[in-house]
Every structure is written in C-alpha cells, then in structure tokens.
Amino acid sequence: MSEMLRRSPFEASRSHAPFDMPSKSPFGMLDSLQRLFDSDIEKSTMRVEEIVEDNTLVVRAELPGIDPDKDVEVSVEDGVLTISARREDKSETRQEGMYRSEFRYGSMLRRIALPEGVSESDVKASYKDGILEVRTPMPAKKTAPAATKVAITRD
C-alpha cells in the first residue's frame, strides 16, 4: 500500500529557503523563488516627488490602494509637511485542493521641510488614482538690501 504525503500548513511555514525543498513539487519551488524576489520594502515605503510648478510647490506621494479618508493624514507644523499613511493588504487564493491567505500591514511616514515663509493655511491636499498631491504657493522672495559702498579714508 502506498503512503500518501500530506503537508500541514505548519510544516510549510518552517521552510522558507527556496532551495530547501526536497519534498516540494517544481511548482512549489517556483512559488518559493517568487517569494524570495518579492520585496516588502517597496510596499512599505512612500515614494515622493517635489517640484515647483508656476510658483507652487507640489509634493506627490504614491499611495495606491489606500483610502485617504481613513488611512492618510497630512499635517504642517513648524515648517514641516508630514504625510503619514497606514496600509492593510489582505489576499486570498483558492484553487482546487489549496487555500492561501496572506496579509501585510504597516505604516509609512515622510517629512518634508517647506520653504521658509509658507503659510500653513495655504497648504491643500487631494487624492486621485493612488496619488496624494499636496500644493502650496511658494512664498514671495525677499529682496536682499542693496549693498552700501563704504568710503575708505587715509590717515
């Protein structure tokens, strides 16, 4: 009588090395390799760009899959723009004879120094298609006082 090999979810969690799989099928090996190259770092960082358009400072942050009403906070204090977000990602895969559930969660935070003279009340934020955009008018440039020529006397 042949023996049937059964894998317990607890056994699968013990082995995470992609080449540590003598009892796995080739497809299991591919799945393990994919996990090796999947990076959670990219999913937990906030990519940000800062540009000046028509005398307006524009800060764009990539925040796909986040509900801005619940999971994003934008604040300005002491000349620093703070963008914080919380991500919760759950996925389930159901196939014949297999069930896989994964979840990821974490927080992201970016602080950006604003130019001197930016009024906190002028900062506006909007969210569309996974991009948070924060805009504020650039402060008027202060003109430096003109240099005064000093006469040199001889003794």
Question: Model-level pTM?
Answer: 0.58
Residue 13 lies in a domain: yes
In a domain, 153, yes or no: no
The reply to whether 23 and 94 lie within a common domain is: no
132 and 90 belong to one structural domain = yes
Same domain, 45 and 109: yes
Give pLDDT, residue 9: 46
Instruction: With respect to residue 143, please indicate whether it lies within any of the assigned structural domains.
Output: no
pLDDT of residue 87: 83
Domain housing 99: 40-137
Q: Could you give the CA distance from residue 7 to residue 21 in angstroms, rounded to a whole number?
A: 12
Q: Are residues 66 and 89 in the same domain?
A: yes
Residue 142 is predicted with a pLDDT of 74
Residue recorded with tokens 């002028």: 122
Together in a domain, 66 and 8: no
Does 47 lie in the same domain as 34? no
Q: Are 66 and 82 in the same domain?
A: yes
How many structural domains are present in the chain? 2
Gap between the Cα atoms of 21 and 124, Å rounded = 53
- 128 burial (CB, 10 Å; 0-12 / 13-18 / 19+) is exposed
The whole-number pLDDT of residue 57 equals 94
pLDDT attached to residue 72: 94
Where do the H-state alpha helices sit in the chain? 9-14, 26-37, 40-44, 68-71
C-alpha to C-alpha distance for 38 and 31, rounded to whole angstroms: 10
Blockwise average pLDDT, block size 10, the chain, 155 residues:
46 45 51 53 72 94 89 92 88 87 85 89 94 92 81 87
Q: How far apart (Å, rounded) are the C-alpha atoms in residues 22 and 121?
A: 62
Question: Quick one: pLDDT at residue 28?
Answer: 54
